[in-house]
Amino acid sequence: MVSKEEVVKVIKRVEKRVQEYKLPITTKVSKSNDPFKVLIATMLSPQTKDTVTGPAFQRLMKLADNPQEMLRLSEKEIEKAIYPVGFYRTKAKRVKQICRILLEKHNGKVPVSMQQLLEFPGVGRKVAGLVMIYGFGKTENIPVDTHCHRVPNRLGWIKTKMPEQTEKELMKLIPKKYLKNFNNTFVTFGQNICTPQKPHCWECPVNKYCKYYKEVYLKNPKKKEK
């Protein structure tokens, strides 16, 4: 069982390393302190690279940056603005639906509640968690995507198969002060160093703490890219 001291040491090293890479779209949008913008950005991001999501989000915000203005747009206008994000037609429809719900049930404000956010069409636990953390600064949960699931499992911190299990176990390991930035830090790390295929183990700042590096990479150094 990994100690919290080692977890903190790894997080600090990873945080330092990822400073050289571009921030995920959620990090950039979070600086606006606008839960609505965080919600829209995180809804657009699944199955889409940040290099596509960022410009699409900016195009949409130029047309409408609040629920009232968004409802004045047609689905076709939203589709055109966010294309080519993945499933852009479905996402355009969801944006309209959510804005309508915000106005009808929440006075146009994004609710500060995981339970209420999860009631929105197309909003799963990861998106809701990102809104809670980056929209409201709440740290009662950890948004877990593919990177936040893969990296801790490779490190040997946890042994889980489902994101819900991963979140539960990470909440036990990670001190509260590191929860807010954990998702963005480890997403950036997973996109650039601890990649799904051919992870860059030889340049990883925490490989000496990594179970995968010790048990897989060192036994097969040919995994190193040329």
Kindly state the tokens that stand for 12: 């600090």
Last residue of a domain, one of 108, 136, 164: 136
So what's the pLDDT on residue 226?
Answer: 39
So what's the pLDDT on residue 223?
Answer: 58
Burial 169-195 (b: 16+ CB within 10 A, else e): bbeebbeeebbbbbbbbbbbbbbebbe
Query: What is the widest separation between alpha-carbon atoms in the chain?
Result: 59
So what's the pLDDT on residue 29?
Answer: 85
Q: What is the CATH number of the domain that holds 45?
A: 1.10.340.30
CB within 8 A of 184, min separation 6: which ones? 23, 24, 26, 27
- The boundaries of the domain holding residue 15 are 4-22+141-223
DSSP string, the chain: ---HHHHHHHHHHHHHHGGGSPPPHHHHHHTT--HHHHHHHHHH-TTS-HHHHHHHHHHHHHH-SSHHHHHTS-HHHHHHHHTTSTTHHHHHHHHHHHHHHHHHHSTT---S-HHHHTTSTT--HHHHHHIIIIIH---S-----HHHHHHHHHHTS---SSHHHHHHHHHHHS-GGGHHHHHHHHHHHHHHTS-SSS--GGG-TTGGG-HHIIIIITT-GGGS--
> How many distinct structural domains can be found in the chain?
2
Q: Both 8 and 42 in a single domain?
A: no
In which residue are the tokens 């699931």 written?
149
So what's the pLDDT on residue 221?
Answer: 67
Do residues 47 and 87 lie in contact, with contact meaning Cβ atoms separated by under 8 Å? yes
Q: What is the CATH number of the domain that holds 212?
A: 1.10.1670.10
Omega prior to 163 cis, within 30 of 0: no
Q: Both 31 and 123 in a single domain?
A: yes
Radius of gyration from C-alpha coordinates of the chain: 19
So what's the pLDDT on residue 222?
Answer: 65
In the chain (226 residues long), the average pLDDT of successive 10-residue segments reads: 95 96 80 91 90 95 97 98 97 98 97 96 93 92 94 97 95 94 94 94 96 89 55
Q: Is this structure's pTM higher than 0.85?
A: yes
Do residues 131 and 117 lie in contact, with contact meaning Cβ atoms separated by under 8 Å? yes
Last residue of a domain, one of 136, 170, 191: 136
Q: Both 42 and 107 in a single domain?
A: yes
